[in-house]
Chains A and B, each alone.
Chain A
Amino acid sequence: MISFLLRRLLSSIPVALLVIVVCFLLVRLAPGSPFSSERALDPATQQMLESKYGLSGSLPEQSLRYLGNVLRGDLGDSLKFRGRTVLEIIGQSLPRSLLLGSIAFLLALGLGVPLGAWAAARNGKTADKWLNGFALLTLSIPTFVLAPVAVLCFSFALPLLPPAGWGTPLQLVLPSICLALPFVGVCARLTRSGLLETIGADFIRTGRAKGVSEKTLVLLHALRPAVLPLVAYAGPLAASILTGSLVIEEVFAIPGIGQFFVSGVMNRDVFLVSGVVLIYCLLLLFFNLIADWLTAILDPRIRLQS
């Protein structure tokens, strides 16, 4: 177990470094410059800025320079937000995204799994069909439609919640629901299909023959192996929910980290993008590790590769 953990941790580090170098290269390859603006910048100034930020020379030179800095703990400066280091920007924005993302993640699982289980227990009946329909509805509305509509409904039509902003707990309600909702449907459906598969299995039939109640069967015995696909899905889900979403952050004016994935690329702010991708990568590796570990615990038939 420990050796498994250590091996995974050790193999994760080169992965993370590889990812940010690839990211760095991709952003540098994209046409356009981080220093361009509606007012043209003269070439001498442009060159000066490039050498100041370590972006002169050939692409391999630039990436090696960047990699060297990262290994020394220096994630670089933002090219758009002058005078701020990438570490500082992440340090201010990440906790906010983590907070919002955790709430959304718990909502997604907390609503999705019970809904899926309930639907599986009532397989074929009306309740199952309605739940299925609801799950699908949450999947088929893009966030950039859901969020403005939610604001119109709950901030204007029914003035219950603030429409945007950051600082009070009430301001977290709408964004976390909008962030979680698309995933509630997926979680519900994965739970439901996993359960329906497991319920037909031999050991469940044995339990039924033994006289164990349907409810106990579903909740106690079937649930564990049934959630395997959900667990595999939940790893990447956690990483992406915790790093937030551009649309949610723009519509609700949340000062989180999600917007930098898109705005950073649009601005060619290469150090910020690579830094933010590094965070995402680390979260992803971490949660995948947990997911694989949970998979091993939940299904005794799998042996962890050693």
Chain B
Amino acid sequence: MKMRLILLSLTLIVLASILGPWLSPYSLSEVSAARLAPPSFSHWLGTDLHGRDLLTRLLYGGRISLLVGLVGATVSLLVGVTYGLISGYLGGRTDNAMMRFVDILYALPRIILVIVLITLFDLKLKQLLDGTILSSLASHARLLLLFVGLGLVEWLTLARIVRAQVLSIKERPFVLSARLIGQTTPTILFRQILPQVLPIVLTYLTLSLPAVILEESFLSFLGLGVQAPLASWGTLLADGAALLNPIQSPWWCVLFPALLLALTLLILNFLGDQLRQPQK
């Protein structure tokens, strides 16, 4: 029953983000004279500084945010879990070296990596894509760079956590006996140890999806994220937060993006929790 409710809500949000923009009478970047208008019948969630309909922008933003979160989290999952499994199981010098490598990458602030990545490759990627069939993607070069950049940054913590778990799991009797029977290392890793590690991984994953989305919003706040006129929940939040002041704040510009973001992340987390139950 619970699971159905969660899946239903998630599907609703995803569907709304995909289909909603087509159903809306407003477009993403259509400015109008009704600037900073509070919620009304013509604009259900109000408008922003340029008179753009907030609801429409939120739905479009959902596409981008969910996509960023999904791709980033997937990249981090694939790389991080594999890395942590191998490092933790092999132990000794290899583990040391692998973890030192993680430490080095960790010690580099993401922002530096991301700025360099974006500024160096933004133009080149655009030029590259322009000549090929993917030229429609050329204007979204920045978005593609974001996916890769954010995903490549999130895997580090996951690798550390997985490795810590593996270090304690690999001494357990069932692993030792698996080795005794003669199972190969990959089999042990992926058949025996991975299932034990999955619960923590899933928990962390449901924490890292929102982390990626939030990271993207911070980058947008700095001007390196999604470019105008595209919107993501992060950019909407950043724009709204910039309008806050003690005299007269357009509260709808902050509340609705924040609510939608929080709601989605809540659902994702409940989903993660439910997924772990069968282990018991």
Residues of A that sit less than 8 Å from B by CB: 11, 15-16, 18-19, 22-23, 26-27, 29-32, 132-133, 136-137, 139-145, 148-149, 152, 156, 186, 189-190, 193, 197, 200, 225, 228-229, 231-233, 235-236, 247, 261-262, 265-266, 273, 277, 280-281, 284-285, 288, 295, 299, 301-303, 305
Contact = CB atoms under 8 A, between A and B. Distances in A.
Contact of B157 (A19, A32, A236, A295): A236
9 contacts: A15-B103, A19-B104, A19-B108, A22-B104, A27-B112, A141-B261, A189-B207, A265-B115, A299-B168
B100 A11 contact: yes
Interface in B203-229: 203, 207, 210, 214, 217-218, 221-222
Given A229-B164, A265-B112, A305-B95, 4 more contacts: A31-B119, A152-B244, A247-B221, A273-B112
A149 B244 contact: yes
Which interface class (under 10, 10 to 19, 20 to 34, 35 or more) fits B?
35 or more
B120 A30 contact: yes
Contacts of A23: 108, 112
Nearest to A232: B164
A281 B116 contact: no
Contacts of B266: 133, 136-137, 140
A142 B100 contact: no
Contact of B120 (A22, A29, A262): A29
A302 B171 contact: yes
Contacts of B238: 142, 144
B258 interface: yes
Interface in B110-155: 111-113, 115-116, 119-120
B237 A265 contact: no
Contacts of A277: 107-109, 112
A77 B106 CA distance: 25
B234 interface: yes
Contacts of A30: 115-116, 119-120
Contacts of B222: 262
Contact of B164 (A132, A140, A261, A295): A295
Contacts of B103: 15, 284-285, 288
Contacts of B119: 30-32
Interface of B: 91-92, 95-96, 100, 103-104, 106-109, 111-113, 115-116, 119-120, 157, 160-161, 164-165, 167-168, 171-172, 199-200, 203, 207, 210, 214, 217-218, 221-222, 234, 237-238, 240-241, 244, 246, 249, 254, 258, 261-262, 265-266, 269, 273, 276, 280
Contact of A140 (B106, B115, B265): B265
Contacts of B108: 19, 22-23, 26, 277
A217 B240 CA distance: 47
The 8 closest A-B pairs by CB, nearest first: A281-B107, A140-B265, A232-B164, A140-B262, A156-B246, A19-B107, A148-B244, A145-B241
B113 to A, nearest CB: 7
A27 B269 CA distance: 37
Given A30-B116, A189-B207, A197 B199 contact: yes
Contact of A136 (B107, B203, B214, B262): B262
Looking at B100, B112, B254, the one whose CB has the most chain A CB atoms below 10 A away is B112
A113 to B, nearest CB: 16
B83 to A, nearest CB: 14
A144 B112 contact: no
B164 A26 contact: no
B7 to A, nearest CB: 18
Contact of B111 (A11, A140, A265): A265
Nearest to B199: A197
Contacts of B168: 225, 228, 299, 301-302
A15 B100 contact: yes
Contacts of B157: 233, 236
Given A22-B108, A142-B217, A152-B249, A232 B161 contact: yes
Contacts of B104: 15, 18-19, 22
B116 A193 contact: no
Contacts of B246: 152, 156
A284 B156 CA distance: 13
Contacts of A236: 106, 157, 160
